[in-house]
């Protein structure tokens, strides 16, 4: 992106600032809530694969540390791989712990069992 040398606009220097200026406190709280839920899931998955959960927790701590000092959201390829790995591991933990996939919050049943009842 080209910025005029006479402009006073500067890109945000960290993810925290970028999210705060673009989405406010609600966006910042939502971003932090993602990681709170992630660490809770990793804690739950720690009983099945302790080493893997520790590695992923360290990866997330590293991500948050670098996000504090740099705008990681600008690095698109890194973001794709980071969130893909997190999503894959979270799905794997969910399958290993026996948590239902596709929970319908309105009826409290899995979507697969809800479809079977409709037939």
- Range in 25-34, 67-76, 91-100, 110-119 with the lowest mean pLDDT: 110-119
Mean pLDDT confidence for 71-83: 86
As a dihedral over the C-alpha atoms of residue 9, residue 15, residue 17, residue 18, rounded to 10 degrees, the angle is 50
Largest CA distance in the chain: 67
> Domain coordinates of the chain in residue numbers?
15-99
Is the Cα torsion angle 28, 33, 34, 40 positive or negative in sign? positive
Q: The whole model's pTM is what? A: 0.68
Cα–Cα dist 104/106, whole Å: 6
Cα–Cα dist 28/21, whole Å: 9
């Amino acid at each position: 992106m080209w910025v005029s040398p006479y402009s006073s606009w500067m890109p945000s220097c960290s993810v925290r600032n970028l999210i705060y200026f673009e989405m406010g406190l609600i966006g910042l709280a939502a971003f932090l809530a993602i990681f709170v839920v992630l660490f809770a899931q990793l804690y739950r998955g720690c009983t099945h694969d302790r080493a893997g959960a520790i590695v992923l927790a360290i990866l997330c701590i590293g991500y948050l540390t670098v996000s504090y000092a740099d705008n990681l959201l600008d690095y698109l390829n890194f973001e794709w791989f980071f969130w893909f790995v997190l999503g894959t591991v979270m799905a794997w933990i969910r399958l290993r712990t026996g948590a239902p996939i596709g929970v319908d919050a309105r009826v409290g049943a899995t979507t697969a069992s809800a479809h079977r009842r409709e037939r």
